[in-house]
Amino acid sequence: MMRITFPKTQDQSEKRIAFFPSQARKYTDLGFDIHIEKNYGQTLYIADAEFEAAGVHVDENRRNLLLDSDLTLVLRTPSPDDAALLKKNSILVGFLDPFSNKELILRLAQQGVSAISMEMIPRITRAQNMDVLSSQASLAGYAAVILAAKALPKIFPMQMTAAGTISPARVLIIGAGVAGLQAIATAKRLGARVEAFDTRPEVAQQIQSLGAKALAIDLGNTTAAANGYAKELSAEQIERQRQAMIKFCSMADVVITTAQVFGKKAPHIITQEMIKSMKPGSVIVDMAVDSGGNVEGSLRNERTSINGVTIIGASDLSSQVAVDASLMYSSNIFNFINEFWDKNSKKFDFNLSDNIIKECLITHQGQVTNEKIRQTFDQG
């Protein structure tokens, strides 16, 4: 019987998990022997006894858990020490950030580990129920607005009272991908006046459908890339965008930036000049801080202030709503395994001609198999 293991995430700020007791039957029906590390669900107040009641083995020794694992499911990139314990021909599945972890990826290849990076799942119809980036980004967009609302020294909705009328807060969302659209919807539900900008003109209709105003800046050709992400802008386009953004930012009470370019550093969009144009007391939430940041001067998981403007480098936003984020992630990851698990041979089907496997399989049989990752490593 193939052993599937769920080790605890070592990052103390991470509250999400990849497996719930209610999902045990799904895995055992596929023929897996399920093992978790002791106190695996403690961040969500799930006792080991609940897992054991579902037929899950609870292991106290993390080292042995990893050494004996055939299929290891994680949230975050494993540490070098943990990765070194994974045996030849075992499978590792999770957020591996392969573009930024060359040493780890090469080590996994050398060890003969088949590494699957869930953020590399292509955004195609067939893979929608496996798309961890979309499921987590949607929740992060919601959390970003709540974070901004708490930091802003005024309320979002308009109120008409005997003492006078309170104008609605003005919220500017930069980037209308999954996270940005959820941020728009959340800010609207809270009663804010919402404007949004995206370099892809084709998303203007989606912005408007949520009740926000789509801002237009003529940047030339900026259609989406094949994977659905925005294309990287030229230096001239970035400068045009920045000049237009000074006006938009100066009118906003809240600015939330979500702009990212897949596999590359996030573009710097909000400059010191723009920040200085904003009203004291305004708030900026930089959702792209983990990939380099959209905001000049933003720091990961820190709040800074420039001329009275609060800048929040918001990392791990989905972890702030960890119950729902875990439910969605665990569902995504099971759907992926179920899709490629051969129920007859009880083996994982590494069909390299399959579009999904081709994109998300990073290492296999001692090689870095993903072409994009190989090219990045060769260039760097």
pLDDT in tens, 183-194: 999 999 999 999
Sign of CA dihedral 208, 244, 246, 256: positive
Say whether both 173 and 196 belong to one domain.
yes
Say whether both 306 and 336 belong to one domain.
no
Choose among 277, 278, 42, 33: nearest CA to 170: 278
Q: Where are the alpha helices (DSSP H) in the chain?
A: 24-29, 48-53, 62-67, 80-85, 102-111, 132-151, 178-189, 204-209, 235-251, 272-277, 322-340, 355-360, 371-379
Residue 130 forms part of a structural domain: no
Taking residues 229-245, what's their average pLDDT? 73
pLDDT attached to residue 238: 74
**One-letter identity of residue 360:** C
Could you tell me the residue range of the domain that residue 101 belongs to? Answer: 2-120+322-372
Task: Give me the half-sphere count of Cα atoms (radius 13 Å) on the Cβ side of residue 261.
Answer: 15
Q: Above 60 in pLDDT, residue 230? A: no
Work out the percent of the chain whose per-residue pLDDT is above 70.
96
Say whether both 108 and 157 belong to one domain.
no
Say whether both 19 and 76 belong to one domain.
yes
pLDDT band at 90 (very low <50, low <70, confident <90, very high): very high
pLDDT band at 225 (very low <50, low <70, confident <90, very high): low
pLDDT attached to residue 12: 84
Choose among 203, 134, 211: nearest CA to 168: 211
pTM strictly above 0.85: yes
Residue 337 forms part of a structural domain: yes
Residue 64 forms part of a structural domain: yes
Query: What b/e string do you get for 283-322 counting C-beta neighbours within 10 Å, with b at 16 or more?
Result: bbbbbbbbbebbbbbbeeeeeeebeebbbbbbbbbbbbbb
Taking residues 79-97, what's their average pLDDT? 96
Q: Which long-range contacts (CB under 8 A, 24 or more apart) does 233-237 make?
A: 233/199, 233/267, 237/199
With tokens 């919402």, the residue in question is 194
Taking residues 224-244, what's their average pLDDT? 67
pLDDT attached to residue 1: 86
Return d(Cα 308, Cα 125) in angstroms, integer: 45
Say whether both 200 and 97 belong to one domain.
no
With tokens 């983990």, the residue in question is 290
pLDDT attached to residue 325: 98
Mind spelling out the 3-state secondary structure of 76-115?
CCCCHHHHHHCCCCCEEEECCCHHHCHHHHHHHHHHCCEE
Tokens of 307: 């001329």
Residue 150: CATH number of its domain: 3.40.50.720
Of 315, 342, 358, the residue that ends a domain is 315
With tokens 């119809």, the residue in question is 125
Contacting residues for 306 by C-beta, under 8 A, at least 6 apart: 272, 275, 276, 297
pLDDT attached to residue 276: 93
**Residues 134, 292, 257, 283, Cα dihedral to 10°:** 130
Say whether both 289 and 333 belong to one domain.
no
Q: Above 60 in pLDDT, residue 228? A: no
Residue 99 forms part of a structural domain: yes
**Mean pLDDT over each residue of the chain, to the nearest integer:** 93
Say whether both 287 and 148 belong to one domain.
yes
Residue 128 forms part of a structural domain: no
Say whether both 214 and 277 belong to one domain.
yes
Taking residues 213-242, what's their average pLDDT? 69
Return d(Cα 378, Cα 336) in angstroms, integer: 29
Q: Above 80 in pLDDT, residue 263? A: no
Choose among 34, 309, 308, 311: nearest CA to 300: 311
Say whether both 223 and 339 belong to one domain.
no
Element (H, E) at 303: strand 303-306
Q: Above 80 in pLDDT, residue 224? A: no
Choose among 250, 242, 340, 216: nearest CA to 294: 242
Residue 71 forms part of a structural domain: yes
pLDDT attached to residue 218: 74
Q: Above 80 in pLDDT, residue 202? A: yes
Q: Please count the structural domains in the chain.
A: 2
Say whether both 310 and 330 belong to one domain.
no
Q: Above 60 in pLDDT, residue 120? A: yes
Q: Above 70 in pLDDT, residue 117? A: yes
Of 315, 334, 353, the residue that ends a domain is 315
CA 7 to chain centre: 20
Tokens of 51: 């897992």
Which residues are part of the catalytic machinery? 123, 128, 131, 134, 229
The torsion region of residue 301 among left (phi > 0), alpha (psi -120 to 50) and beta comes to: left
With tokens 């006006």, the residue in question is 247
Looking at mean pLDDT, say which of 324-333, 344-353, 370-379 comes out highest.
Answer: 324-333
Looking at mean pLDDT, say which of 33-47, 266-280, 343-357 comes out highest.
Answer: 33-47
Return d(Cα 34, Cα 64) in angstroms, integer: 14
Return d(Cα 105, Cα 110) in angstroms, integer: 9
Q: Above 90 in pLDDT, residue 58? A: yes
DSSP 157: S
Contacting residues for 61 by C-beta, under 8 A, at least 6 apart: none
Of 315, 333, 349, the residue that ends a domain is 315
Residue 131 forms part of a structural domain: no
pLDDT in tens, 322-340: 999 999 999 999 999 999 9
Q: Determine phi and psi for 355, rounding to 5 degrees.
A: -60, -40
Residue 132 forms part of a structural domain: no
Say whether both 164 and 262 belong to one domain.
yes
Say whether both 277 and 335 belong to one domain.
no
